[in-house]
Structure 1
Amino acid sequence: MKTKFSGILTLFLAFVVQLTFAQEKLISGTVSDEAGLPLPGVNIIIKGTSQGTQSDFDGNYSLSASSGDVLSFSFMGYKSKTITVGTSTTINLTMTEDLSELDEVVVTALGIKRDEKALGYSSQEVSSEQLVTVRDANVVNSLSGKVAGINVTNASGAVGSESRIVIRGISSISGNTQPLIIVDGVVLDNSSYGNSSSSGGNSTPNGLADINQDDIASMNVLKGGAATSLYGMRGANGVIVITTKSGNTKSDQLGIEISSNVSFENAYVLPEYQNSYGQGFDTTYFEYVDGVTGDGGIDESWGAPLDVGYEFIQWDSFDGEAKPWVSHPDNVKNFYETGITTNNNIAFSKSGDGYNGRVSMGMTDQKGIIYNTDLRKYNFGGKLNFDLSDKWSVGLSVNYTKTESSNLPSLGYGDANNQIGQLVWSGRNVDFQALKDYENLPLGYASGSDTATPINWNLAYNNNPYWALDNNTNTFDRNRILGNVNITYQITDDLSLTAQTGIDYFSSLDTSRRAFGTYESTRGSYEETQRTRYEINSQAILNYNIDFTEKFNTSLSIGGQSMVNNYHRLYMEASELQVPDVYNISNTRDGVTPGLEQTQTDQKINSGFGIAQFSYDDVVFLDLTGRNDWASVLPTSKNSFFYPGANLSAIVSDMIGMNNSFLKLRAGWAKVGSSGPLSPYSLEPAYSFGTAWGTTPVASSPTTLWNPNIKNETTEEIEVGFDTRLFSNRLRLDFTYYDKETSDVIMAKEISGASGNLYFWDNAATLTNKGFEVTLGADIIRNPGDGFNLGITANFARNRNKAQDIDDDPTTNDGSIVLGGLWNVDIQAKEGEAVGAIYGPAFARNEDGEIIYSNGLPTQDPTYQVLGNINPDWTGGLNIDMSYKNIRFSTLFDVKWGGDIYSQTNSWGNYAGVLAETLPGRETGIVGKGVKSDGNGGWVANDVVQTASTFYGTTYGPNIAEAAVYDASFVKWRELALFYDFPLKKWASTGVNQLSLGVTVRNLAILYKKAPNIDPESAFSNSTGAQGLEYAQVPSTRSIGINLNVKF
């Protein structure tokens, strides 16, 4: 009996096990949208468990489940759905867009996540895909043409070049006008700390360029005061909030992402040169004396005709024999090389019960278009979020970047070591490639003296460009750490406390080496600059949610923040060296005192803030904000200032029952403060110590007089707008109008030197910015499945800036402030005009506007005149996306219309006779178009003939700046990308979830411009006073790249 019972029990258990396994089965299917297109990344979870998966790139998924299990499908921007498992093993699902949720959540001020529909101000998000599909080495440049109301300027095509961002116009005259950068809650110092100027130096990358582009999940651009007032005095110029990627929160599998990219860069905007005449004056050639004295200072190309059989002794006539006098049309083009940039990145992500994490490593290696210039960047990033319990959660993130260069190119026309400066003159008979093998040239080191200047085509003003690039190097090494720790304690279901501490720390070492024999520095020199900077921001926020009724909800938050900033700089210089090729301060030449400068600053800001958020029926939202800063850079009696703000939004489509459409109205107002250009110790006398006089210490008083009554700058802004999405999100339109006024603008006003100072800090101006922004998106063609799809996104922005209430500058007494300039051109802020007026010498004109000539030459107006303005009339962008089956195509056009630019390349190129426009009149002379005096107080047409060299030499160069001011408008074909997504069925056994290969092009062409010979998108640094000034920059580059992306 016992045996029989055991047999029955065994049979029963076997039946139970068989039944259990029979109930569990593999469920698979495809998730798509209403158009039939696959949706990758949809989260599929078995309700009540932690089991789940995600759909792959083709929308396919599979997981084990039992009959009766409930599958939950969720995806951002779509309505969640649940399906109960039945007898079928295939479950296909079509998800519908949830227009009321839009993009669900966005990261706003202080890292607070909000429903986008609740925002009463304009913000625009840029996705990771938009930033990395067509790469730029500096991620700042990837924003061009993609965000309405943002103006991006890339200084040049050199490796390590800095870039400038301005949102909604210039809001400070002499202070920083760029937005605050936040990375995972950490304030990032976006300064470049380069020493580029019109007279020389070199540029170094912005702080934002240190961020690994492959780690960025999104960039949210907060444009107006209503969006940024919670950031206090540093949010006055807008804020860019960057969120980096986290681990996959819905999968317990190890995820691996690999991306690899290589691109090739070439100069794509070069001057159009004449190739008919060589060096000399008035068709007469000069004789070189020898390899040391060279051409005797003649580098203009007004000489004898080329390619007509002449022979002359030239710079490379080492045997004393005459050589053919021939043109080298591509001598400048061939000087630039093909740059190569490689990017390689790998990331691992993992999640489990109560945690998710991601680790990434990346490397970027750049070879510049200028010989022997480079830049390398190494990134390591880690991010971990975990729940300690149902009440405690912790987040950690750290990013380390090492950026280094063995040689960054010298910039600025005035630097004798700048190779681009001599290319502006570029004798048309010179073969620059012949200079590259300088060590083997017979007169390579001339007299043999270690201080002799190596051979060059022109020794009067320049170094041999290749010798300089090999020997006169500018090294750069920066190490940066961004770290963040945040802790949240859920005190009750409605009450939570969040605390966060973040640090941005970097140390850098820049060196500048000048070898023996360098022009203007024959004994060589060495400079070394060490910098360290850290900023720690700590904050705590207490949040309380109150549901008064089922429809009326409130969230109240109060918090505090503390910022501590420390900066240290040590500069050392050996202006002459004792021993060649030993670059050390201790190698300073005997009798020469080494230069030494040391700077240390400390700054603190303590803040308190509050937020009250109200919502009614999930259709009307009101936010009230307030923040108070206590800033150490301002006088004690005036270092406290308060920033109030309010914004309101209403979802009209939900109120009136608009089917398949969405309409939101919004309005915002805020006051935001700023300390403008003030830095630590600006307002207290701080003496500077210089080189000792023997054993006597030397100190100098500050040149700027402090002002105990100075106040902070205040910007008050109002904005209104709407966001609508029609026809099931096929047509999207966002519009914003804003009006902001910045009062008590801080400036260092010039005062009489008799006071013992040269400048005086004062609140001395008011600035206004008014404008509107439009973003339009449309899905023109939607086809289900693998059909053809076409979508566009366009943006348009217009800003009008004006300076008012400017106190007189004693140097002009005309209500203007000089912000910067070069040679004889100034960039000014002038009463009643937009900040950025271009001032300089103009043509003298009669009452009818005709140019007045004297002896056949144009005359100059005795006073400086307004020649233009740096601000564009409007900016815009157009992005087109297409797809067909496994092929994806996208392209971007970028427009800046209006504004002006002064071009030194055109000014000196015409002066020197190297540009093609100087050809007419070489043989017959030139009769300028204008009038001359008739001797009786009237005017007659100018009929006096002048030689071409005299005419252009009088008009351009250091003379009439108006002749070289051009319309800065351009239409650029900015980006193009073509990708193929490989079908994953063939790769299923390898675990590959996504595999794509693409070709990309950046800066394909300038489709329209009026400024000849240059890229009108140029500036020699990122300061306001350097905009609108083109000054022998490294030319812009076109890049062609290949991208490979793999996900497991």
Structure 2
Amino acid sequence: MKNNNKRCPWVVPLFLLSCFLGLIQVQARTETKENKVQQLITGTVSDHQGLPLPGVNILIKGSHQGAMTNLEGEYGINASIGDTLSYSFIGYTTKILVVTQNFKGDVQLQQNADALSEVVINAGYYNTTERERTGNIAKVTAEEIELQPLVSPLQTLQGRMAGVEISPGNDLPGSAPTIRIRGQNSLRAEGNYPLYIIDGMPLNSSPLESNSNLSFTGIDPLSTLNVSNIESIEVLKDADATAIYGSRGANGVILITTKQGQSEKTEVQVQVYSGFSEVPNRIDLLHTEQYLQIRRRAFENDGTEPTQFNAYDLLVWDQERDTDWQEEILGGNAAVTNLNLTVTGGNQTTRYRLNGGFQEQGTVYPGDANYQKATGGLSVSHHSKDQKFKLQTAINSGLDNNKIVGNRSLVSSIFSLAPNAPAIFNEDGSLHWEEWIETGIDNPFNGYFNTSKIEASNLISNLSLSYELLKGLRLKTNLGYTNYNSEEIFKIPKRSYNPLYSEFLEAQSIHLLQKRNSWIVEPQLEYTTQLNKLQIESLIGSTFQKNQSRITEFTATGYVSESLIGNIAAAESLSDGRRQSTTYKYNALFARIGLNWDHKYLLNLTGRRDGSSRFGPGKRFANFGAIGAAWIFTEEGFMDHLDFLSFGKLRASYGSTGNDQIGDYGYLDAYEATPGAGGLYPVALANPDYSWEINKKLEAALQLGFLKERLNLNISWYRNRSSNQLVGLPLPGVTGFNSVQANLPATVENRGWELEFTSLNFQKKDFSWRTSVNLTFPENELVSYPNLEESPYANTYRIGEPLNIALLYQYEGINPETGFYEVADINGDGRFDYEDQVVVQNQNRQYYGGIQNQFTYKNFSLQFLWQFVKQEGRLTLFNTGSLGNSRAVVAEALTDNSTYQSISNSSESRRAYNYASASSLGYTDASFLRLKTLALNYNLPSAPLQKIGMRGAKLFLTGQNLFTFTDYQGMDPEVTNGTGASFSDLRTYSLGIQLNF
């Protein structure tokens, strides 16, 4: 039986607190052993503007003792007179100082003219720098994303990366966004998911199922992560960057690194913000007078008599009532609250970071839906005094509680409801039925009291161990485990529906339980050496991974009381439902050799042999690899006279990766139990011969830095070709099966240009201004598909066109005789079908990107991001004269020079409208420019705060989706699904404070 006890959201924080107390005891014991001859040196490390620098490494040369500055640039280290201290920080010149009797400890670092060599990039199994990377890797840091009031980490990337396209799932928290890294490679939707790596642990990226309003895109598997706890997100795009991940990296790799401890002293940070969200845009709709005028004109033009059945809005409903249904349905404010508590500390060899967070978001819809998330994180890093042994562990846990209103038609009701429609609710909050029943129709909020509650828990853990066997030779092991559990209860009470049918209805609940767990073991051997000017980095390792997933779904009916719905012990009957369990095993051997000659010529070779349990015997293993090369040509002597060009690099890569993102056991025959009979019947055909999709990637790029890297420009051209496409091949009905898994002889190509520009526009002591721009021109094409015309996809794809297309009728204008829309009958057979759909509409973005600016003035900083997209989208035309409201521009149909068809409610007008909606007339410019993010921060003066025991404090104001400039007449140009009444992200305002102790 199901346990109805609610999960305690404080289990994880209490567990983490106990771990923290244990670490404090370890720290205290260690500190008592310190050499008493040394003296404690304290101070602050700042930049050339006098602003504190957090994360600066301080090391006593000739020893393994060190420290790191905290968030306020402060540090403390035990050293003796005569010791040499080294201060190093990314992007700044390392400073060397000798400890003297009068040494004060305050240090100022100067910005490094060659800052690119200091920017560390996480490439997955190894680290590189911005200067010497051979692959295409994009990165965002905590500074850009940590204060954004968002649920999914992927949403923070919108507009920030070239080649990375993210479309929100819907407006509900927890919905899975769609992410495409350099386009769509596979004909299957599930074959385009990238690989998620959280602190070295791979995570299943496919969305989870739902019976709620999240069912369209599914539940985001990353929703349980705390955005404020993320240190950086790197996206690996080309073959050189992704090939070391083999088949798992076919569609790109997203590396998420959580924050680590940075200080030896115990420090506490409290971060709180609160705000609200609202629908960012409204549509101008007809008011009652206009609406009724158009409706009456329709009956006049048609020569028909209105009755209470075909014109209840004219004859039955109140002619003076004028309801703004957008305000009624979407007019609420969704409260947003977020709380984070962080404790860091440690000693010279061990550092830890403990984090706990709580997030809550309400809803703009009527009802009491809300989303709550509690998270906890623990990271510990340790090394021996001789630096030979190193340990790094990260544990991230999250609990989601998502309560969703169960009616899926609320937004569509904006257009389906006439402005003079009766009230939806009675004064006591129950659904109003009388006036609706009189007209023979249901209340459009039919099903409103249905609710869905999703409780999910997720654990992501990783442990990395390494030991230096010999100089330059290090043995490493990466261990990881994930465990995801969710329980969804969809409750359907009788009061949600028409009381006339209550005697035929039963209260019921639909239960959906999902479990995912996985483990991974990756032993590795790493060797680094220097031979004169040649630096060699080599890596060999293997991967052993196992994923298990289970889904259980059933329906309980016959509850005698609404309060008992969901308690299956109180149900009269349970359905057989479905039980599904799958296991996926993955083994691989991988290797890398990186050659660096004089920091001028770079070569990177990677290879991997993959084995997947999703293919039949003889097809399970495949080899993948890549080569990447770069030439830093500004290191050549002939470039010395070009003083304005401070950095120049050419790079290129080529390689292949596989793709096994299909269902498990597809190569076997499948059977299901015969209901009630105890037998089996076949449901899927075996095909042991299908194998890997192959993705071949080619890239060339130019990277330039001007004026000592104050200006930086990256230009990349790429071409990815995915062949041997894996799909379910439809079969004739006489076979008894719908499809069989097979490789199709189709090739999909994604190519394009990516431009990235950064500049330091102005920098003085009190003021600085930085700008970054990214721009992507993508192209997607079905290059080849033998015998496409004879395949089941003849009416879905076109050779030489993108995969994401719409096949439309050719719009001919308004017929002068009928006054209705008209489309072309291409073959002249007197009917309209797929043979007449000759217009190919590209539904992909023509280009997209973002513009980000960051200003600092003394203790103030301002950051804002503009997102822009060039595209076309679908928009409902509206049949003038039919029941239901329309955009206000439809009132033009009352004039003589209307671009709309004649006002009518006849079957001929509806048929003409349907054909026109499926023609080129139904598409319009949906380009937009959006102020995606705005953040204003103020650091309070530190001197008064230190008097009360605080290290620092910061006030911050953030906004999301504040303004959108577009010619699109729907609610949101980012969601152009036809009605124009859908939207994705809400406009959010939040105000917060951060306190450091």
Cα contact 1:911–1:952 (8 A) shared by 2: no
Whole-Å separation in 2 of the counterparts to 1:754 and 1:646: 49
Cα contact 1:156–1:1035 (8 A) shared by 2: yes
Aligned twin of 1:664: 649
* Identity value in percent: 21
Whole-Å separation in 2 of the counterparts to 1:587 and 1:867: 55
- Does residue 877 (structure 1) correspond to residue 850 (structure 2)? The answer is yes
Q: After the TM superposition, which residues 1021-1032 of structure 1 pair with which residues of structure 2 at under 5 Å, given as runs?
A: none
Cα distance change of structure 1 residues 403 and 338 upon mapping to structure 2, 3 Å threshold: same
- Does residue 569 (structure 1) correspond to residue 583 (structure 2)? The answer is no
Cα deviation 1:640-698 (Å, max 9, x = unaligned):
1100111112222233365682222211111000024x211112111123532xxx136
Aligned twin of 1:918: 890
1:527 to 497, 510, 513: 510
Whole-Å separation in 1 of the counterparts to 2:578 and 2:725: 30
Aligned twin of 1:1011: 968
Aligned twin of 2:873: 901
Cα contact 1:563–1:606 (8 A) shared by 2: yes
Whole-Å separation in 1 of the counterparts to 2:984 and 2:347: 50
Tell me by how many angstroms 1:582 deviates: 3.6
Cα distance change of structure 1 residues 586 and 990 upon mapping to structure 2, 3 Å threshold: closer
1:735 to 715, 737, 749: 715
Cα contact 1:122–1:224 (8 A) shared by 2: yes
- Does residue 259 (structure 1) correspond to residue 227 (structure 2)? The answer is no
- Does residue 435 (structure 1) correspond to residue 461 (structure 2)? The answer is no
1:753 to 718, 721, 733: 733
Aligned twin of 2:4: none
The residue identity in structure 2 corresponding to 1:916 is A
Aligned twin of 1:797: 776
Cα contact 1:516–1:581 (8 A) shared by 2: no
Aligned twin of 2:668: 684
Cα contact 1:456–1:463 (8 A) shared by 2: no
Cα distance change of structure 1 residues 258 and 585 upon mapping to structure 2, 3 Å threshold: closer
Tell me by how many angstroms 1:511 deviates: 1.4
2:629 to 633, 637, 648: 648
Cα distance change of structure 1 residues 671 and 27 upon mapping to structure 2, 3 Å threshold: closer
Aligned twin of 1:380: 376
1:282 to 284, 287, 295: 295
Cα distance change of structure 1 residues 926 and 117 upon mapping to structure 2, 3 Å threshold: closer
- Does residue 631 (structure 1) correspond to residue 612 (structure 2)? The answer is yes
Whole-Å separation in 2 of the counterparts to 1:296 and 1:225: 66
Tell me by how many angstroms 1:713 deviates: 0.6
Cα contact 2:526–2:540 (8 A) shared by 1: yes
Q: After the TM superposition, which residues 159-308 of structure 1 pair with which residues of structure 2 at under 5 Å, given as runs?
A: 159-174=173-188, 175-195=190-210, 201=215, 205-248=219-262, 251-275=263-287, 276-278=289-291, 282-283=295-296, 304=314
SS in 2 for 1:176: helix
Q: After the TM superposition, which residues 591-630 of structure 1 pair with which residues of structure 2 at under 5 Å, given as runs?
A: 594-630=575-611
Aligned twin of 1:106: 121
- Does residue 997 (structure 1) correspond to residue 946 (structure 2)? The answer is no
Cα contact 1:344–1:362 (8 A) shared by 2: yes
Whole-Å separation in 1 of the counterparts to 2:377 and 2:36: 43
2:390 to 380, 390, 393: 393
Cα contact 1:553–1:616 (8 A) shared by 2: yes
Normalized against structure 2, the TM-score is what? Answer: 0.86
Cα distance change of structure 1 residues 747 and 24 upon mapping to structure 2, 3 Å threshold: closer
Cα deviation 1:529-555 (Å, max 9, x = unaligned):
1111112121111122233x2212222
Structure 2 portions without partners, runs of 5+: 1-34, 300-306, 499-503, 825-831
Cα distance change of structure 1 residues 388 and 135 upon mapping to structure 2, 3 Å threshold: same
Cα deviation 1:27-86 (Å, max 9, x = unaligned):
7566323x6665444334454567766556675778786654433211112221112345
The residue identity in structure 2 corresponding to 1:350 is G
The residue identity in structure 2 corresponding to 1:688 is E
Cα contact 1:956–1:964 (8 A) shared by 2: no
Normalized against structure 1, the TM-score is what? Answer: 0.82
- Does residue 364 (structure 1) correspond to residue 359 (structure 2)? The answer is yes
Whole-Å separation in 1 of the counterparts to 2:403 and 2:359: 15
Structure 1 portions without partners, runs of 5+: 1-19, 287-294, 305-311, 315-322, 412-417, 447-453, 819-827, 931-944, 1020-1027
- Does residue 341 (structure 1) correspond to residue 341 (structure 2)? The answer is no
Cα distance change of structure 1 residues 578 and 87 upon mapping to structure 2, 3 Å threshold: closer
The residue identity in structure 2 corresponding to 1:208 is L
The residue identity in structure 2 corresponding to 1:753 is G
Cα distance change of structure 1 residues 125 and 282 upon mapping to structure 2, 3 Å threshold: closer
Whole-Å separation in 1 of the counterparts to 2:481 and 2:41: 48
Cα distance change of structure 1 residues 29 and 103 upon mapping to structure 2, 3 Å threshold: closer
Tell me by how many angstroms 1:263 deviates: 2.2
1:986 to 944, 947, 951: 944
Cα contact 1:299–1:912 (8 A) shared by 2: no
Whole-Å separation in 1 of the counterparts to 2:471 and 2:940: 47
Aligned twin of 2:416: 425
1:858 to 821, 829, 842: 821
Cα contact 1:906–1:964 (8 A) shared by 2: no
Whole-Å separation in 2 of the counterparts to 1:272 and 1:834: 34
Tell me by how many angstroms 1:213 deviates: 1.1
SS in 1 for 2:191: coil
Tell me by how many angstroms 1:232 deviates: 1.4
Cα contact 1:905–1:1031 (8 A) shared by 2: no
Whole-Å separation in 1 of the counterparts to 2:437 and 2:356: 45
Cα deviation 1:916-947 (Å, max 9, x = unaligned):
1221234x6886689xxxxxxxxxxxxxx654
Aligned twin of 1:501: 479
Cα distance change of structure 1 residues 618 and 331 upon mapping to structure 2, 3 Å threshold: closer
The residue identity in structure 1 corresponding to 2:378 is G
Tell me by how many angstroms 1:100 deviates: 6.3
Cα distance change of structure 1 residues 158 and 280 upon mapping to structure 2, 3 Å threshold: farther
2:111 to 96, 100, 106: 96
Larger mean CA deviation between 655-664 and 967-976 belongs to: 655-664
Aligned twin of 1:675: 660
Cα contact 2:928–2:964 (8 A) shared by 1: yes
The residue identity in structure 2 corresponding to 1:533 is R
The residue identity in structure 2 corresponding to 1:863 is D
The residue identity in structure 1 corresponding to 2:193 is Q
Cα distance change of structure 1 residues 991 and 280 upon mapping to structure 2, 3 Å threshold: same
Cα contact 2:781–2:803 (8 A) shared by 1: yes
Aligned twin of 1:964: 922
Cα distance change of structure 1 residues 636 and 946 upon mapping to structure 2, 3 Å threshold: same
Cα contact 2:275–2:336 (8 A) shared by 1: yes
Cα distance change of structure 1 residues 1046 and 843 upon mapping to structure 2, 3 Å threshold: same
SS in 2 for 1:208: coil
Cα contact 1:791–1:880 (8 A) shared by 2: yes
Aligned twin of 2:463: 485
Cα contact 1:574–1:587 (8 A) shared by 2: no
Cα deviation 1:934-973 (Å, max 9, x = unaligned):
xxxxxxxxxxx65478787444458632343333322111
Whole-Å separation in 2 of the counterparts to 1:281 and 1:652: 70
Larger mean CA deviation between 855-864 and 488-497 belongs to: 855-864
Tell me by how many angstroms 1:379 deviates: 0.6
Cα contact 1:515–1:522 (8 A) shared by 2: no
Cα contact 2:42–2:74 (8 A) shared by 1: no
How many residues get paired?
930
The residue identity in structure 2 corresponding to 1:662 is F
Whole-Å separation in 2 of the counterparts to 1:59 and 1:910: 67
Tell me by how many angstroms 1:1042 deviates: 0.7
Whole-Å separation in 2 of the counterparts to 1:622 and 1:904: 53
Whole-Å separation in 2 of the counterparts to 1:631 and 1:61: 49
Cα distance change of structure 1 residues 910 and 342 upon mapping to structure 2, 3 Å threshold: farther
Aligned twin of 2:16: none
Whole-Å separation in 1 of the counterparts to 2:198 and 2:879: 43
- Does residue 886 (structure 1) correspond to residue 859 (structure 2)? The answer is yes
Cα distance change of structure 1 residues 299 and 1034 upon mapping to structure 2, 3 Å threshold: farther
